[in-house]
Amino acid sequence: MNSFFFLTPIFLFSLTIVSLRAPALSLEKSVDLIKKTCKKTPYHDLCVSSLRSYPGSSGATVHDLAGIMLNLTLANATDTLSFIQVLINQTEDPQLEMPLDYCAELYIPVVKYTLPQAIVAFDKSQYGFAEYGVSDAGDQADTCEKQLSKSMASSPLGDRNKLVSELCDVAVAIIKMLQQG
């Protein structure tokens, strides 16, 4: 009986040390998972910086990371559409207004339908449909940029279109990881 009372404080002390170390281990694992996951995407640095900056990414699974990337992609596409609409309202140059209108026509369905439907499909584990929708959204950003590049020397949406397209590529790569198991 005496050995039980002696071992109990040692056991409790060990348990306390392990539980205090657990959050740090969890954070290390999530950082490692982010790095590991992002290494398998076409834009490693963008992937890591995006996921690390997102609240709730610590302790996330690969599934969670894909969901986060989908939400970031939708947020950036929405922001780009808003910026396009501001540019349309500010311009008096028909040479600029026409390609901007074209880009708005590309982004509106992406923001209202394509990406939200891809997110719903993803949440239902319909990864193929989600991948298709996100890939299509990236194609629309690329198409917008090509149209603007034809019409003017310097695209006012170059960085934004590039970011949306690259976020789509990263999201698709993570979704493919989930499909492969």
Q: Would you say the C-alpha torsion 8, 12, 17, 18 has a positive or negative sign?
A: positive
CA-based nearest residue to 118, from 59, 62, 72, 154:
72
CATH code of the domain occupying 29-180: 1.20.140.40
Tens of pLDDT, residues 5-39? 444 444 333 333 334 444 443 444 545 899 999 99
Q: How many helices (H) and strands (E) does the chain have?
A: 7, 0
pLDDT at 118 over 80: yes
Q: Taking a C-beta distance cutoff of 8 angstroms, is the pair 51, 65 a contact?
A: yes
pLDDT at 31: 57
DSSP for 22-51, written as a single string: HHHHHHHHHHHHHHHHHTTSS-HHHHHHHH
Residue with the larger pLDDT of the pair 12 and 146:
146
pLDDT at 100 over 60: yes
